[in-house]
Amino acid sequence: MRWRNRMRIAKRLLLLLCVFVLGLFPAVPPTAQADDEHTAERHVLYTVVDGPIGPATVHHVARVLQQAQTAPTEAVVLQLNTPGGLADAMREIISQILQSQVPVITYVAPPGAHAASAGTYILYASHVAAMAPGTNLGAATPVAIGGLPDGLPGRPPAEEQDKDQEGGGSPDRSPTAPKTALEAKATNDAAALIRSLAELHGRNADWAERAVRQAESLSATRALELNVIDLIAADLSALLRDADGRSVVMGEARQQISTAGLPVERVEMDIVIRILSVLSNPNVALVLMMLGVYGLIFEFWNPGALVPGVVGAICLTLGLFALNQLPLNYAALALLGIGVAFMVAEAFSPSFGVLGLGGLIAFSLGAAMLVDTDAPAFRISWWLIASMAVTSAAVLVLLLGYTIRTYRQQPVSGRARLLGARARVLDWKDGSGFVWIEGERWQAKGALDLQPGQYVRIGAIKGLTLHVAAEAGFGPGATRGE
């Protein structure tokens, strides 16, 4: 009966999983939906990118640009508010914008938003760069080569830095000056990229390079004065009105856009990209990995429970999928795999904590080094690593305590259970007879003076014969009640 209930629960979980997966895919192909919804009238596609630039952003922008090419679209408006993100994801988005057959207008909005780091590169790559009042851009220095905090040895005081920047001092004294050959290569590569984007669209290339080398930032008004952006617009309607009639570079030709008065269609992230956005968070990936490990451990602890195993397998698969979307340090991934393997092995092959402790150390080191990026939004939280380590240590302590208690317990079956046990003599003659123990009648051998009713202890077992001796303190003829 218990087995049937477990099978019923497992079937329900699998059914819910199948329904969830099927719900991720639309019943009608997206192209067919687009053909039904769009008319011959030209329009503007509008979408919002709010948050770190990552794998989900790449998929969303690609989907919007693909939709723009399947319908009469005059322009794509990409409203941007980002602190930065992954360099690989940023370069993919830049490539998509440059290869787009439809002009892309990047609009930093709403007021209070910013296009920092990777956002600055995307703004420079766009055919039209616009900002709302009260926004800013810049600080495009690769994070890995950031300067030392104020007050630390090797960094000049803030006053001297300001004098250097205002007076055109040497960039070598700037807070973001490269300190190693690797940092210099990364800086030069980033500066060359943003300068090429600026020259492509006729924008201020010198300031763009300073944004990379010296982490400069600008307000919207100042950016317009320095020809960093093309226009300032208070809202979307003003943006489309002011962008109307502008000539933009599309490949090797120039194209004039007409956006005034056109209808606007907003494109939201679909459910698949939203799920990817959540899963591409390395902290979520780590939690899913740990839930998968715990589920497998509990399944090994209690084989046939099914629910921990099913949930653990799903979480582990999702965790691995999430990690596949991120730039990984493969040495750290190997440590993570070793840690998981050792912790699972501890569950069904107890080693008194040796495997578990080694797995915990390997897992913690692997988690700390797992994501090969310095983008703050994609770093694994040290608090999460510490929490996972403490939780894993607690599980291992419980497992180790259970193992030690089991090891110290007396055997409950087999030959070892009978050794030293107490039996009662049923009949005895010439040093042999029969004894009664645990509801069974056994043949026994022992001293000649044992008598029926006397209690004895089992000292050895040879074949199916017990070798017994009288209990200490009871001489020949002594009997005891049961």
**How wide is the angle at C-alpha 278 spanned by C-alphas 274 and 282, nearest 5°?**
150
CA 351 to chain centre: 30
Q: Which residue has the tokens 């709302």?
A: 132
Q: How far apart are CA 434 and CA 453, in angstroms?
A: 11
Residues present in the chain in total: 482
Handedness of CA 60, 62, 63, 65 (dihedral sign): positive
The pair of three-digit structure tokens given for residue 442, joined into one six-digit string = 């056994």
pLDDT by residue for the chain (482 residues), tens only, comes to 555 555 565 555 555 555 554 454 444 444 434 444 444 588 999 999 998 888 889 999 999 999 998 889 999 999 999 988 888 889 999 999 999 999 999 999 999 999 998 899 999 999 999 999 999 998 888 764 333 333 333 334 434 444 444 444 444 445 556 667 777 888 888 899 999 999 999 999 999 999 999 989 999 999 999 999 999 999 999 999 999 999 998 877 888 999 988 999 999 988 888 888 788 788 888 888 778 877 877 777 677 777 878 888 888 888 877 777 777 777 887 887 788 778 767 666 666 667 777 887 887 788 878 776 666 666 777 788 778 777 777 776 676 666 666 656 665 556 777 787 889 999 998 889 999 988 888 999 998 888 888 999 988 888 888 899 987 644 444 433 33
- Helix (H) and strand (E) counts in the chain: 17, 16
Show the CA angle centred on residue 204, arms to residues 138 and 220, nearest 5°.
45
Q: What are φ and ψ of residue 122, in 5° steps?
A: -65, -40
pLDDT at res. 412: 57
12, 13, 14, 19: CA torsion to nearest 10: 90
Residues 435/457, Cβ–Cβ less than 8 Å: no
d(CA 259, CA 416): 89
Which of 314, 268, 254, 264 has its CA nearest to residue 289? 314
Phi, psi of 415 (to 5 degrees): -65, -35
**What distance in Å separates the CA atoms of residue 297 and residue 293, rounded to the nearest whole number?**
6
Distance CA 204, CA 202 (A): 7
Domains contained in the chain, CATH given? 40-269 (3.90.226.10), 281-408 (no CATH), 415-470 (2.40.50.140)
pTM of the model: 0.63
